[in-house]
Amino acid sequence: MEQWIAAGRVRVNGEPAAVGTRIGAGDRVLVDGRSLRPHRGETARVLLYHKTTGEIVSRDDPQGRPEVFEKLPRLHGAKWVAVGRLDFNTSGLLIFTTSGELANRLMHPRHRIEREYAVRLLGELSEEQMRALRTGVQLADGPVHLDSIEDVGGQGSNHWYNVVLSEGRNREVRRLFEALNLKVSRLMRVRFGPIALPAHLKRGQMRELDEAEISRLLATLEFQPRIAASKISTGRPARPQPSEPRHQRRGR
């Protein structure tokens, strides 16, 4: 395909293509004037996993702790990409996908995808602390604030809160409460963007989204995966381009 592009034989939406040109589902691609169809391979897969505490989101932990990737289905010609991480002592929703583009769309800071957590504290927040969490708390790597915080009650010294933020820094939620001298005794991610942890998904269990669910996810994110021009196919071989007129070749 790169040779076809260099020879000027490929056009995208009427314009000459360049190596690395990105092509979406609505683009019109011609090679030697003939229409191409994109070759996309398999649809991206998305897997939801209910992480337990005591597992690490890593493929190579020097301490030999249980790794979540060891539990995931085996793939051929692809790999699972983790959408964000949860630390060793945090449980809840982990998302894995075979699409690096989709993972980047969910994780990139500029998209400000919400993360929601259930937080159990030893003690109850004061109104002043609630206000500080909403307006911003200074951490070592910069200020952080919660998009929302909801008191959901508790018993004894334990108190539960649901918090939402749109960043993904390392141990961000724990550090945020520690900055106010509050101890988090349990932390669980219950939602990542439009995907909530299914109520029936028990700890250590996983569920793969079907094609309809993935289509709805992409639509919600207003995200259309794109493919490189080097990965398009005519469905039949293109005619060779002669280096000289055919009648001259016949005379040899």
Position 28 scores a pLDDT of: 75
Position 236 scores a pLDDT of: 42
Q: What is the DSSP string of 82-148?
A: EES---TT-EEEEEEES-HHHHHHHH-GGG---EEEEEEEES---HHHHHHHHH-EEETTEEE--SE
Query: Do 45-111+203-209 and 114-192 show the same overall fold?
Result: yes
Position 9 scores a pLDDT of: 82
Position 31 scores a pLDDT of: 80
What CATH number matches the domain at 114-192, 3.40.50.300, 3.30.450.20, 3.40.50.620, 3.30.2350.10? 3.30.2350.10
Catalytic residue among 87, 141, 147, 210: 87
Maximum alpha-carbon separation in the chain: 98
Considering Cα of 123, then 120, then 90, then 44, what sign does the dihedral take? negative
Provide the CATH topology of domain 2-42+226-241. Answer: 3.10.290
d(CA 28, CA 12): 6
Q: What stretch of H or E contains 4?
A: helix 2-6
Instruction: Establish whether 87 is a catalytic residue.
Output: yes
Position 241 scores a pLDDT of: 43
Position 13 scores a pLDDT of: 83
Domain at 45-111+203-209: CATH architecture: 2-Layer Sandwich (3.30)
Instruction: Confirm if 78 and 24 have CB atoms less than 8 A apart.
Output: no
Residue spans of the chain under pLDDT 50: 38-41, 227-252
Domain ranges of the chain: 2-42+226-241, 45-111+203-209, 114-192
Position 20 scores a pLDDT of: 62
Q: Which of 131, 134, 158, 130 is nearest to 144 (CA)?
A: 134
Position 179 scores a pLDDT of: 93
